[in-house]
Each structure stands twice: as C-alpha cells, then as structure tokens.
Structure 1
Amino acid sequence: MLFLHGGGQSRSAWRAAARALGDEGYYSISLDLRGHGDSDWAADGNYAFDRHVADLDTIIAGLGQPAILVGASLGGHIALIAAANLPHRVRALALADVTPWIDETEADTLRAAMRRVAEGFDTVAEAAAAVDRLRGVASNGDPERLRAHMREENGRLYWRWDPRFIQDEFVRHGGEGGLFAAAAARLRVPALLMHAEFSTVVSEAQVLRFQEVVPDLHCERIAGVGHMVSGDDNDAYLPALRRFLSSQESPAPSRSFQSRP
C-alpha cells in the first residue's frame, strides 16, 4: 500500500494509518511527494502531474508488484491518474476528499490562502490559527504539534514544502482541462471515495457524478472533518479504508514504514 498525502502535507499525515494497516498485514509505505517533507524540491520547479505519476511508476516498479494507492487531495489526484494510466501497477484505489471535478472558485480560495501561508510565520501559534482558517474547523489541539511540520529560516517558520508546487500551471489544469475526469472514465480497478463532512472542495453533486462515471465506486462520508491542510493527520479516514480493504483480497506479509521519492 502506498499512501500519498495532500498538498502542503507530508508523509506524517498518513503515519498512523500506515502503521495500523502494517500491523494488520499490509506492506505499507507513506511517501513524501516531490517538493514536500524530506523529499527534494524539484530543481527545475516542475510539479506537473506527469512528474508525480512517473515517481509512482518508478517506486511501484521497484516494489515488484502492483500496489493499492491511498491518496488525499493532491495525492488523490495523482493516484487517480496513476490508476488509470498504469493499470499494471495499481490493484485498488482509495481517495480521501477528492473527486475528478473541482469547484475552481473554492479551490482558488484555498490555493490563495496556501500562497499566503507560504510567506511564513513569526510563531507556531500564528501558524496554528492559519491552519484553522484553512480547514474551516477548529483543531483545539496544542499548536506546538505543528513545529515538526515546519522549518526555520531567518527567524521565521515555514511549512516544509516548495511554494512553487501551488502554481496554477501545476494544480489548476487537471480539473479545467479534464485531466482528472478523463482518468476517472478509464478507471478499471476497485475504488473508494471517502468525502469529508465539512469539505470545502467536494460536493454531494460531485460524489453523485463520480458514481455515475464509476458505477462500482464505494463511497463513505467521513463525519466531523474538513479538507486536510498542512499539519493535519488523516486518521479519520482509517475506519472507512479498513472496511474497503476487507472487501478486497487478503493482505501481503506484514511490514510498514515511511519513505520518500
């Protein structure tokens, strides 16, 4: 199983899920996408979807067998394209709060906010307040938990991701250009959609449309959560993911770890 985090997150977002499913018999790997966490920033600044999919192709080829892909937000779109373009590499797909269609007005609001937070913070508390505004749901957690997701430079705190990945040329054309919808139409592997109750980017209409394109799509609504942002974990999706996996074939011998491209 390969876990792909959302834009602005890191491999730690899926840490608990990867470990839990590793304990249950799955060979689980949580990745840092290029330009995120401990992965290198792209020297040429290119974060196009085909680059991310090429990363996955290389990783799965190295594993020597098809993988189950679990992707959140940006990671979900990458996983969707990979599942459609590399059917020999993927045996199942699970998407966390992402569909092939995007309300670009809402998405642009989120992207603009991410560009603002990329400018850095004076304190962890300031970063925590920005996260709450992005999520639309108060976390009520200790702000210090975010420090591990940040780097310090010239006395300011910054998220551990390359701000260039959020440029419109990389994140906007998938929905408007039909890239994600075209991938969904070619999808031939078992698939699960987990949509957040308070999502600002996934609507009920989009869920229904996804089910029309992929009639066998499993769908679950995840109560009490909003769309994931920097510093979040994705633990809320684990129960639904477990139920989906239980309907699939038996897991491989147990092992779990975190890695990066």
Structure 2
Amino acid sequence: MTTDMDEMRVSSDSVVPHEFSGAHGNRLNASIYRGGAKPVLFFHGGGQTRHAWDNAARAVQAAGYTAIAVDLRGHGDSEWVADQRYAFDDYAADIDAVARKVQETFGGQRPVSVGASLGGISSLVAQYEAGQSLLSALILVDVTPRMRRDGVDRILGFMSDRMQDGFGSLQEAADTIAAYLPNRGRPKSLDGLSKNLRLGEDGRYRWHWDPAFISGPHPVNSGKLRSDEYRFAATRALTIPTLLVRGRQSELVSEEHAEEFLELVPHARLTDVSGAGHMVAGDRNDIFLQAIMEFLDGLGAG
C-alpha cells in the first residue's frame, strides 16, 4: 500500500487513483498525474467530471508538475452527499480540505488551482475564506464574479432537461449535446462521453452527477455566493498570481465582465480564447494549454 506522499510525488508516467476526504467527511475521488514537486489542482465545472482535464493534466505532468484532478462532490466517482448540500460554499469547503491535504503532503507548498466555472469560483472563495493562505496561484476558466444571467439559465436548463429521464443510448446523448453546442465538432469516439454518464439498471444513461445539485434542498445557486457583495469582496481580496481564461464566444462571461474582473484584480492576466465558448478547454484545448503553461512557467519551474 502506498502512502499519500508516494502516490502524489513518485515520478512516473502512470495515473494514480486517489481519495480525498471533503469538508464533511465526504469521499472525493481524484486522479493524480505523478510528476514534479509542484502540485497543480484541477477542479471541473458543474455537470462535468475530473476527466474533462485529462489532456491538460497530462500536459502539466509532462512539464514537470504533479497534476491532481478531482471529482467535486456529487460528480463523477465522488460521493453523493447524504444531506444534499451542493451550494458553492460547500464546494469551497471541499477545495479547502483538498488543498490543505496537498499542502501537507508537499511539505507546506501551496498548490496552484485551475478551476472551470464551479471549480473556479469555489477556488476563489476557498482562497478568500482562508485569508489568502491556501493557494499559490489561481487560474479561472470562464468564470467571473458577475456573469450573464441568461447564459447561466441556459446552462442549468440544459443540465436539468434530461437529468431524470436520461438517454436511451450514448448516441442519443451525443445528439443532444450536438444540438446544444452546434459550433463544436462531434467527437470521433463516444468513449469520452461515456465518462460523463452513468448506465442505470433500467438501461438508460444519466448524467454523472447528483440531481440534487440542481433540484435538492441546498442546490448550487444557494448559499453566501448569491450575494453580489460577497463575490466581489472575495475577488477584490485576491493577492496571488491570477489568470482569467475566457472563451471569446462565452455565453457566461462577456468582454465587459472580463474587463470588470481586471479592474477588481489589477495584477491578474487575461487570455481571450478565439473560437471557444464557456467550455474553453474542450473547444480550443490547444490555446488553453498554451495559456496555462505560459502562466505556470512564469511562476517558476515545478
């Protein structure tokens, strides 16, 4: 049996499965891409899984870092929490627990966090609640404290539309996604899609996340982050190196929102990714990887 240190730091080309304990003792599954001494955490967006980061994590690993991609609570292989607490506050608390464990394992070294949407804003809040002592740097992927309400509603509408009934096949799910994202090319294989779906006993495929994330008593849009004042306070407080990666065709983060973010965090950098919407890493992974690798290199070698 390997120790935490062995799993996270031994140099290898392999990907190691790992389990973290969340803020409330909830199990969080992760993949550790073992590499160098500098840890980089990856937190996906709502409705996704840690596998959304496979390509990015491998690239970061190859560059000499240890990449750690985590399934957020209620997503992927992580535990569906019994009390159905899925507010941003709860995700931030889990990120705090993971980051502190990683910091302990890496000799007190604070990790970098790469967070898309849900994972990004939760990382920002975790850093705020920790008094800026949790992370060494932050990469926000298409998320800012102010977002387009119509874009948020469209995404939540798509996620909730089939969350109970599911799909009769992977192909049916692929067709539904293609209709929602007509500008994205269809994948040649459905293998990646299968990681985002669960096959039920009734033979139908459903999204790989707990429906209570949207429809439960403590859904994602509840908690302190409903307050504009709180979100802006957390953003203004950022002191660590920060990169905002925005999809130029984003349905959530407008150009004005990005400019507002830079006014709130004057030391932050912005990369606008042409040809990408909200799902930046999936739409233009090449440009996304270039942006985050240049940012990480600027922090010093891992």
SS of 1:6's equivalent in the other structure is coil
2:285: which partner in 1? 235
Matched, 1:165 2:204: no
- Which of 138, 156, 162 is the aligned partner of 1:117? 162
Q: CA deviation at 1:175?
A: 6.0
Cα deviation, 1:41-95, whole Å, max 9, x if unaligned, reads: 1111111222212212222222213110100011111111112222211110001
Cα displacement (A) at 1:180: 2.4
**What are the residue-to-residue correspondences of 1:99-110 with 2, within 5 Å?**
99-110=144-155
Q: CA deviation at 1:197?
A: 2.0
Deviation at 1:133, TM superposition (A): 3.4
Q: Over residues 198-235 of structure 1, what are the superposed CA-to-partner deviations in whole Å (9 max), with x where a residue is unaligned?
A: 21111000001001111111000112222229x95883
Correspondence 1:156 to 2:207: no
In the alignment, which residue of structure 1 is the partner of 2:180? 134
TM-score (norm 2): 0.77
Q: Alignment length, in residue pairs?
A: 250
Identify which of 217, 226, 229 aligns with 2:277. Answer: 226
Alpha-carbon distance in structure 2 between the residues aligned to 1:6 and 1:81: 15
Partner of 1:189: 240
The 3-state SS of whatever aligns with 1:193 is strand
Give the counterpart letter for 1:31 in structure 2.
V
Identity of aligned residues (%): 38
Q: CA deviation at 1:141?
A: 1.5
Query: Which amino acid is the alignment partner of residue 104 of structure 1?
Result: R
Equivalent residue for 1:88, pick from 128, 133, 139? 133
Contact 1:83–1:189 (CA under 8 A) maintained in structure 2:
no
Deviating above 6 A after TM superposition, structure 1's stretches of 4 or more consecutive aligned residues are: none
Report the 3-state secondary structure (helix = DSSP H, G, I; strand = E; otherwise coil) of the residue aligned with 1:226: coil
SS, match of residue 46 in structure 1: coil
Note if contact 2:184-2:283 (Cα within 8 Å) is conserved in structure 1. Answer: no
Q: Which moved more, 1:169-178 or 1:149-158?
A: 169-178
Over 3 Å counting, the alpha-carbon distance change for 1:84 and 1:15 in structure 2 is same
Q: Work out which of the residue numbers 99, 105, 120 in structure 2 matches 1:76.
A: 120
In the TM superposition, what is the alpha-carbon distance from 1:152 to its structure 2 partner? 1.1
Equivalent residue number for residue 255 of structure 1: none
Alignment-mate amino acid for residue 177 of structure 1: S
- Kept after mapping to 1: 8 A contact 2:49/2:71: yes
CA 1:135–1:181 in 2, change beyond 3 Å: closer, same or farther? farther
Q: Secondary structure at the match of 2:219?
A: helix
The 8 Å contact of residues 89 and 225 in structure 2, kept in 1 or not, is answered as no
Q: Secondary structure at the match of 1:100?
A: coil
Measure the CA separation in 1 of the matches of 2:189 and 2:155. 21
Q: Which stretch shows the higher mean deviation, 128-137 or 103-112?
A: 128-137
TM-score (ref. length: structure 1)? 0.88
Q: How many angstroms does 1:170 deviate by?
A: 3.4
Secondary structure of 1:39's aligned partner: coil
Q: Match for residue 202 of structure 1?
A: 253
The DSSP-based 3-state class of the residue aligned with 1:90 is coil
CA offset at residue 167 of structure 1? 4.1
Describe the shift of the 1:176–1:46 C-alpha distance in structure 2 as closer, same or farther (beyond 3 A): closer
Q: Report what 1:31 is aligned to.
A: 70
Q: Which has the higher contact order (CA 8 A, sep 6+)?
A: 1
Alpha carbon RMSD of aligned pairs, Å?
2.1
In the alignment, is residue 18 of structure 1 matched against residue 57 of structure 2?
Answer: yes
For structure 1, list consecutive stretches of 5 or more residues without a partner in the other structure: 252-261
Structure whose alpha-carbon radius of gyration is higher? 2
Deviation at 1:129, TM superposition (A): 2.1
